[in-house]
Amino acid sequence: MKANKNTNSANGVKNSNTNSATANRQPAPLAVSVQFFDVKNYAAIGNNHTPGVWILYKRGEGKTAIHLFGADAVAPNKTKDAVNTALGNVINYIYRERGKEFSAKQNNPDIKSKFRPTGILDIFVMTEKGDLIHRFDYNSSPWENTAAVPSDRIFKMNSKGQKVEKHKAKQETFRLLGGENLPEYIDDEIENAAAPAPAETEPTAPAPTGKGKGRTNGKRGQKPTEPEATAEPQPEATAAAEPGEPAPADKADKAA
């Protein structure tokens, strides 16, 4: 019997150990770290939020927070692409962790979720450059409805349904953060990159000192100084005549 691509021998036994890349494909690990703040610790940081994605929860009169940061969770700037990418990575990470929690809770219902889907007060993004991306009208922001932090209901769906919910969560969260109003690029970065380096100052050449017309010695309105000629003795004939002495011949003729 002739073997085919679906069998591993001529006896027709089905090949169950495929080497297909899609068969054993695992999601790529994400460089995302998480820090949890209780009411006291979050109150202590004030407004000093570091770069990353922040999720705030209402707890009594105070707030608790989850801070997600790392190479895949921090937007380098406030452009649409940068914020959307960082936010999408964070939601992917949360879905993976919540999926692990849901599976573990099937055997131990007492396990508490680190990422609570209820009680979300606010979600915002702090970029690496210190830009705060958030909604101004907090009262009308239905953060829980975005499913950025999924509930157990979503993990009772099949894999296709979970993907659809996760995609909707990314879109809705980005919309509530005003993502459509973010710039496509940063003008300052482009201008700084294209700006030419300052030209070096070249030494000024010395001004010519020749006798040509209009030449100067570097000072406006002054003529070049030339070495003084040594005075030569005048012939005695040009000297003024002393009283009582006869005048030179040429002056005698003029006098006549």
Q: What is the pLDDT of residue 243?
A: 45
Dump pLDDT digits (tens) for 3-45: 555 544 444 444 444 444 444 566 788 999 999 999 999 999 9
Q: What per-residue confidence (pLDDT) applies to 112?
A: 85
Give Cβ neighbours of residue 84 (< 8 Å, ≥ 6 apart): 170, 174, 179
Torsion angle in degrees (nearest 10) through CA of 39, 40, 42, 45: 160
Distance, in Å, from the CA atom of 63 to the CA atom of 54, rounded to the nearest integer, reads 12
Q: What is the mean pLDDT of residues 108-132?
A: 91
Please report, for the chain, the start and end positions of each structural domain, with discontinuous segments joined by +. Answer: 33-181
Tokens of 44: 């202590």
Instruction: Calculate the average pLDDT of the chain.
Output: 76
Q: What amino acid occupies position 58?
A: K
